[in-house]
Amino acid sequence: MSPAPAILSGLLALVTAAAVFQLKHAVRERERELAAIRQAIAEERARIRTLRADIAWLARPERIAAHAKELALEPMRVDRLIRIEELPDALHLELAGRTLVVELADGDAIELRLKPLLLPQAHKGARP
């Protein structure tokens, strides 16, 4: 029997072993990289959480209230709200932008501006 097949299979085994070892090594390298990245992500996340907590702490109501004056903040008031029915009609708003040129008897021309008209009965639509 010739030794060729035995040598061949031996070589094959060696090559395979080497390849597998190489692969294993590369995978481990990648794993180490991955672990490092994961660690970095975890660190960043922890930092973000701490910073978010910091922001929330700095924006706590009593602190904002203490700075309200310098920030020109003031409480909302109900008289600053307006019901939709109290708004002037869309037509009025549209006309408000236009000017009307009127020619007077003596030949002069003057421009008249239309003013939006607030209806006295502000909430006529309220009754269902």
80 lies in the binding site for another protein (CB under 8 A): yes
Is 109 near another protein (CB under 8 A)? Answer: no
Regarding 75 and contact with another protein (CB under 8 A), the answer is: yes
Decide: is 56 part of the binding site for another protein (CB under 8 A). Answer: yes
Q: How far apart (Å, rounded) are the C-alpha atoms in residues 95 and 58?
A: 49
The reply to whether 76 sits near another protein by the rule CB under 8 A is yes
| Residue 30 makes contact with another protein by CB under 8 A | no
Q: By CB under 8 A, which span of 24-32, 90-98, 99-107, 110-118 interacts with another protein?
A: 24-32
Per-residue burial over 62-90, b = 16 or more CB atoms within 10 Å of its CB, e = otherwise: eeeeeeeeeeeeeeeeeeeeeeeeeeeee
Shortest reach from residue 25's CB to another protein, in Å:
9
What is the rounded distance in angstroms from the CA atom of residue 116 to the CA atom of residue 105? 27
**What are the residues facing 110 on neighbouring strands?**
102
